[in-house]
Chains A and B, each alone.
Chain A
Amino acid sequence: MGVNAMALPRSRWWRRLSVIELYLWAFRLAVVLVVVWGVVGTVRAARYSGEVWLDFVVFGFSQGAIYALIALGYTMVYGILRMINFAHGDIFMVGAYTAYYAARALDQRGIFNSRPLLSLALILVVAMVVSMVTALLVERVAYRPLRRAPRLVPLISAIGASFFLEYAVRGLYGSGFQAYPEFNVFKGEWVLFGVGILRTQAVVIVSALILMAALYLFVMRTKTGTAMRSVAEDMEVAALMGINVDRIIVITFAIGGAAAGAAGILYALVFKQVHFFMGFYPGIKAFTAAVLGGIGNIPGALLGGVALGLIESVAPILVLDGLGIVAPYQLKDVTAFIMLVMVLIFRPSGILGERLATKKA
């Protein structure tokens, strides 16, 4: 068939191109042109020093590490249940918000700064446990009864769970912003290889990497991890092999929830405040990261998260500033959402490819 297609007269090739393909190509071309135009403009103007760029890159890395941690939950759940856990961003929020009270209590007693590492570990544990419990509750209430329902049904239920969690937290904890206490140790910079890096960002990147490595080893090396992978591969066959699928699903949600809770603390370290709606954007962005890396793929989540974090932090000044757009940093989220839409349109299988590509309905 390929040969026949090649043999068609050259003058007719455009006839095989549909309007939609043309439109999509024009879309791609426009994006590429805009990006190139913007980059050229920025480079020619040369308004930012190397140090500023480096700051943006490091910020992108720390941001991306957080997205990657959240993305793990999306990716693992999608790998097993083929559903988007739309409430995952709010599971992240619930952990961070609840841990705020632990942090405040520690701060009021002065432990927060006299023993920073212990305090950090403590609030991490609080956030992870709370997020894990929330994730399990959401799974039990909103998803388990719908496991055999048509695809859109659990998604709508998940959207419901998401808003329910947000407004439950708003009702319980209040609707304002709460300022997270700061660790004095993590203020200022560390100098690595002659480059100054904000301490919080270094902490965030390192902790996220450690957590992710641990998780990767868990999934690849332990028996439960193997069971998880086999359920992701084929639920029915896995069940026939004596794997308790329900248990594996619960474990998946628990791990994803714990990772999201940890991400919540890291997020609070960087942004120093919590709010009941704070999970919405990171949730969508982490989903973008999961798809970007290849959904169902754990290293992909890391790759996608970091890529998205970098794009989001660098693109506004690299591209938009060069286009002469005022206040480009306001459009940071727009660049992330454009990435989201573009990935879904042009490469839904992600960078590392989707293991599930053939099975997706």
Chain B
Amino acid sequence: MSTRSPLRHAVRIGLLWGTGALFISLVGLIEALQQRQIVTGIVSGGHTILLVLILAAGLSLARPLTAVGAGVRLGAAALAGVIAALPVALWLLLSRVVNFRAMIVGATPELYTILSLGRGPAVLPWLLLGGALLAAVGMALTMLPREAQSLATTGLVTLLIIGLLQEQVQLILQAPWLTRIREALFTFDGLTPLGAVIVVALSAGVSSLWHRQRPRARARLAQWPPARRRWLQVGGFAAAVALILLLPLFVGPFFSQVLVLVGLYTLMGMGLNLEVGFAGLLDIGFVAFWAIGAYTVGLLTSSSPQAIAHLSWWTATLIAAVVSLISGFLFGLPILGIRGDYLAIATLGFGEIIRLLVLSDFLRPWLGGSQGVLGIPKPVLFGFEFRGPEQLFFITIGASAIVAFVAARLRDSRLGRAWMAMREDEDVAQAMGINTVNIKLLAYGIGAVFAGVSGAIFAVMVGSVFPHSFSVLVSINVLALIIVGGMGSLPGVVVGSLALVGLPELLREFSDYRFLVYGAVLMVMMILRPEGLWPAAAQRRELHEEVAAVPEREAVEMLPGSDG
């Protein structure tokens, strides 16, 4: 790596980010995000993404160039910035001669206006210059002292997030006594310049305070008597629970809806995590269990002609869980002997078989074909009707909590350890006396129950079930979120579903590009960070073996007989 000259690094990285920038422009992402103002009248979403890309080119050049002097680094970064701006600039020039629109849908005049800042071809030299400057700024950021670096990043990232999500933030600030604050920070469609400054300053300040005070607070905490610390923990936990339970009151129906979806995907993620993360069985037909749960509830509760009973949702969900468990076993039995990548394809086949059967005219009299099962009543408990997302939120959160608890207990149980042994090496696990048949079936069965419960809630949330809701894309979605969070990691599932389900729901323009991003995320995660963003301890150790410096506390946990 280090044999390359700074020049070659700059060209390479510039080209990489520049092609990336051109690609996301042509795919239509920039145009879609342009409608979002970050700072009203100054910077909008599409531009921001391009700015961030070029800035990132400068940032990513820092690592290969640690050995050379500051001047060379800045120069290389500026060069990389010019090269990164080049593809877009060249495309703009070419587009005056060639009509790309006949082939590429996204190559619209609007896109060209955005890219050339509405100023036609005269802007091209400025684009290159701007690229050079930005990338140099990116590089300069990495040369700042550590603390300043973290302040700048926190400030900018917070600005970006609040800017992109301003609609939702404004929704939260809807309360009358917050009106003054809201009006100071936001205009109708973005942050005010003053608001932007406040956001950056505030977030940087908070972050600096946090970084300064944390070690001191930690030290003081360590001196507290254990009993008092325990109380603090319990209190903190109770406060968190209370906060989560009161969330729908603050955030309104739209946010609650998003949170319910996040919860549903968390449930499914917990189930798939059991199969993929714990037991190492890659299952990309997982959505079938979701469908089974949803259809069971639909058929047992709805008012449509396909219904076979009119039970309450609670009973139906219990039955759905049992049905999912059994179908998990039945589905697992024939594929016990299949391993590794063949298993993934076989499960995909199963999932598609189920979807196509449900969709077919053949089973239409029983399952409703493509029209699905309609008219699923909302659950009622002691006269309280879980009418909308704000109420269903509680069911979802409750189910997620139970499932997370079960998954955590399973992970630390004998069964969990057997799964992980099997994940590492099936033959050795078997030789050690683990009954791989039983534990595989249990992985499929329990995973299926989690997905089935999720499906049951989904059915009642939508009020009907259609085969179109159960495409392979859902399985890919779940797979992507557990990989982003970290395979085998339970908090990772929540992090993953917040990032991959919650965010796209909030950024609606973005939802067309969801699977584009998921695909990229799967590749990038596998290449750069296969253990995920919030890795399980074991994976972290395993995939970074070269970093042998395991912290002492973890090292103790690794010793046999010290679990607890």
Contact = CB atoms under 8 A, between A and B. Distances in A.
Given A83-B341, A334-B353, A166 B515 contact: yes
B123 interface: no
B515 A334 contact: no
A160 B518 CA distance: 7
Given A168-B27, A345-B346, A361-B340, A333 B356 contact: yes
A24 B282 CA distance: 21
A152 B348 CA distance: 15
Contacts of A156: 282, 479, 483, 522, 526
Given A171-B26, A330-B360, A331-B362, A153 B519 contact: no
A160 B104 contact: no
Contacts of B350: 337, 341
Contacts of A146: 526-527
B346 A152 contact: no
A207 interface: no
**B359, B360, B512 — which one has the most chain A CB atoms within 10 A of its CB?**
B360
Nearest to B352: A337
Contacts of A154: 526
Contacts of B437: 20
Contact of A330 (B26, B361, B520): B361
Nearest to B342: A344
A330 B280 CA distance: 34
A176 to B, nearest CB: 9
A326 interface: yes
Interface in A187-240: none
A101 B100 CA distance: 11
Contact of B340 (A151, A171, A172, A328): A151
Interface in B312-345: 333-342, 344-345
Contact of B523 (A141, A168, A174, A345): A141
B356 A331 contact: yes
A84 interface: yes
Interface residue tally on B, bucketed by range = 35 or more
Contact of B106 (A155, A171, A325, A326): A171
B171 interface: no
> Range of interface residues on chain A?
35 or more
Contacts of B345: 84, 284, 287, 340, 344
B530 interface: yes
A174 B105 contact: yes
B476 interface: yes
Interface in A315-344: 325-328, 330-331, 333-334, 337-338, 340-341, 344
User: What secondary structure prevails in chain A residues at the interface with B?
Assistant: helix
Given A20-B333, A155-B341, A345-B337, A164 B104 contact: no
Interface in A130-150: 141-142, 145-146, 149
A345 B335 contact: yes
A157 B362 CA distance: 37
B466 to A, nearest CB: 16
Of the candidates A23, A84, A160, the one having the most CB atoms from chain B within 10 angstroms of its own CB is A160
A313 B86 CA distance: 51
A153 B539 CA distance: 13
B353 A101 contact: no
Nearest to B427: A361
A317 to B, nearest CB: 14
Nearest to A78: B341
A348 B338 contact: yes
Interface in B411-458: 437
Contacts of B104: 172-173
A162 B334 contact: no
A152 B522 contact: no
Nearest to B340: A151
Contact of A326 (B335, B342, B356, B361): B361
B357 A334 contact: yes
A103 interface: no
A163 B341 contact: no
B476 A163 contact: yes
A37 interface: no
B106 A163 contact: no
Contacts of B357: 331, 334
B522 A340 contact: no
Contacts of B28: 171
Interface string A267-287: 000000000000010001001
A157 B523 contact: yes
B519 A167 contact: yes
A338 B344 CA distance: 15
Contact of B530 (A153, A160, A170): A153
A161 interface: yes
B342 A348 contact: yes
B459 interface: no
A246 B333 CA distance: 40
Contacts of A340: 345-346, 349
B284 interface: yes
Q: Which of B348, B361, B526 has the most CB of A within 10 A?
A: B526
Nearest to B514: A167
Given A157-B523, A159-B479, A344 B335 contact: yes
A104 to B, nearest CB: 8
Nearest to B335: A345
B440 to A, nearest CB: 10
Contacts of B91: none
Given A152-B340, A157-B526, A164 B349 contact: no
Nearest to B518: A163
A273 B135 CA distance: 44
For A154, A326, A337, which residue has the most chain B Cβ atoms within 10 angstroms?
A: A337
Interface centre among B105, B437, B476, B514 (most CB of A within 10 A): B105
B516 interface: yes
Contacts of A48: none
B520 A164 contact: yes
Contacts of A166: 515, 519
Given A151-B341, A155-B341, A344 B27 contact: no
A205 B356 CA distance: 28
B521 interface: yes
A302 interface: no
Contacts of B340: 151-152, 155, 361
Contacts of B27: 168, 171-172
Given A327-B361, A340-B345, A165 B519 contact: yes
Residue of A167, A328, A330 most packed against chain B (CB within 10 A):
A167
A80 to B, nearest CB: 15
Contacts of A161: 519, 522-523
Contacts of B361: 326-327, 330
Interface string B351-384: 0110011011110000000000000000000000
B353 A337 contact: yes
A27 interface: yes
B261 interface: no
Contacts of B342: 291, 344, 348
Contacts of B523: 141-142, 157, 160-161, 164
Given A142-B526, A151-B341, A326-B362, 16 more contacts: A20-B336, A101-B103, A152-B340, A152-B341, A155-B282, A156-B479, A157-B522, A159-B476, A160-B521, A160-B526, A163-B516, A164-B522, A167-B516, A331-B356, A341-B349, A345-B338
5 contacts: A101-B102, A153-B530, A168-B516, A171-B516, A327-B362
Interface of A: 20, 23-24, 27, 83-84, 101, 141-142, 145-146, 149, 151-157, 159-168, 170-174, 280, 284, 287-288, 291, 325-328, 330-331, 333-334, 337-338, 340-341, 344-345, 348, 361
Interface of B: 23, 26-29, 102-106, 280, 282, 284, 333-342, 344-346, 348-350, 352-353, 356-357, 359-362, 437, 472, 476, 479-480, 483, 512-516, 518-523, 526-527, 530
7 closest Cβ contacts across the A-B interface? A160-B522, A164-B519, A171-B27, A163-B519, A167-B516, A157-B526, A160-B523
